[in-house]
Chains A and B, each alone.
Chain A
Amino acid sequence: MTRRPWTDWTLLAPMTVVGLFFVGRVLWPQAGLFGAIGEVASLRIAGVVKLAFLVTGGLIAIRNAARLGRGNLARPGWVLLGAGLLASAAGQAVLCGYQLSPRGAAPFPSPADVFFMLGYPLFIAALVGFLKAYAAAGYPLGSLGQRLLLGGLVSSVGLALAVVVLHPVVLKPGVPPLARFLNIAYPVMDVVLLVPVVLLLRATLPLRGGEVWKVWAALLAGFGCMWAGDVLFACFDALNIQSVDPLTHAMYVLSYGSLALGVVRQQRLFTS
């Protein structure tokens, strides 16, 4: 059995502890620790953990790009992934500013959404950049027809799910226009993001068992959790389903932690 490197544990440990805490808060809201730590305190802890993951991931992703060297086909993908993580970190920093203030909670929408929205095109461009790099290097991505079919299937299923989720969001009266726009825009951007995620999953599945797969398993899990977090947030905010709020935080913690884990594993590939 191979031992998991300590660098993995530095990210996995806070992901597990904070993630399980929020899941426990949903299941047993009054029990022991879950009831003892107030909502504001738990929001602050989660906010700082998320910010740490995003800053770590963003900076190391940019460093990974530099280590790949000029002319490397995967370099633009790492630069864009780093930029996406740092844009999200800026958004999270704004949220932390609210959460750490006496007010204790961030409004929605807030200036943070400018940065979170900026992150999506950067993430999408990063994943498309990786796909192009792997195709150019001769790794099998399937024929153009297969890719179009898979991309079409994912976007169709994703849009169908988005319509189910967004239908009540769109129709709900009294929602400010910007909040309504963002509650629709986030899941729609997620669907767009999901297409290259699934294409990359298909492309990287044959790497299972190798060190490179560990990078991609973490990165793609991170984007999957981001999608789940955005869907839960839309339910929480627009439909006022309070019970899913802790799960939303759990998903974002897992998402940002997994993305940082993938980036750190890539860094380890350069030296191990």
Chain B
Amino acid sequence: MELDQQPSRETVLDTLTRELTPYLGQTMAQAAVETHRQKLGIDGPHITPGQLDALLAKLGAGLVIFVGRERTEVIVRQARSAVNSLPVYS
């Protein structure tokens, strides 16, 4: 997939926030996604697959203390799947 065909950074971040909200609530989900985005230096218009992996790993590490490893893996898998199924922007 060409980089300019990928969903925008904001769309991906919103999708990740939406996937975490049932567990962390909207405020904490937004804060967690934004904090890790900043820490990882994800500033471009799009999020690369590598950046998505790193972001999901960070979010998973925060989630695991609340829901355990098995459940975290399911949530992270669902979040990745939700991002991958986003409509492609051109």
Contacts and interface: CB of A to CB of B under 8 A. Distances in A.
On chain A, which size bracket covers the interface?
A: 20 to 34
B26 A209 contact: yes
Given A210-B22, A211-B22, A270-B71, A134 B65 contact: yes
A129 to B, nearest CB: 11
A139 B25 contact: no
A144 interface: no
Contact of B62 (A137, A211, A213, A271): A137
Given A269-B71, A270-B70, A72 B25 contact: no
B71 A206 contact: no
Interface in B27-46: 27-29, 31-32, 35
B65 A72 contact: yes
Contact of A139 (B22, B26, B62, B68): B62
B86 interface: no
B71 A209 contact: no
B70 A138 contact: no
A67 B28 CA distance: 24
Interface of B: 21-29, 31-32, 35, 61-62, 64-71
Contacts, number: 67
B23 A210 contact: yes
A167 interface: no
B59 to A, nearest CB: 10
22 contacts: A69-B68, A69-B69, A73-B65, A74-B65, A133-B65, A137-B61, A137-B62, A137-B64, A137-B65, A139-B62, A206-B25, A206-B28, A207-B24, A207-B27, A208-B27, A209-B25, A210-B22, A210-B29, A211-B22, A212-B24, A212-B66, A269-B67
B25 A212 contact: yes
A140 interface: yes
A37 to B, nearest CB: 42
B24 A210 contact: yes
Contacts of B21: 209-210
Contacts of A192: none
Among A68, A69, A74, A134, the one with the most B-chain Cβ atoms within 10 Å of its Cβ is A68
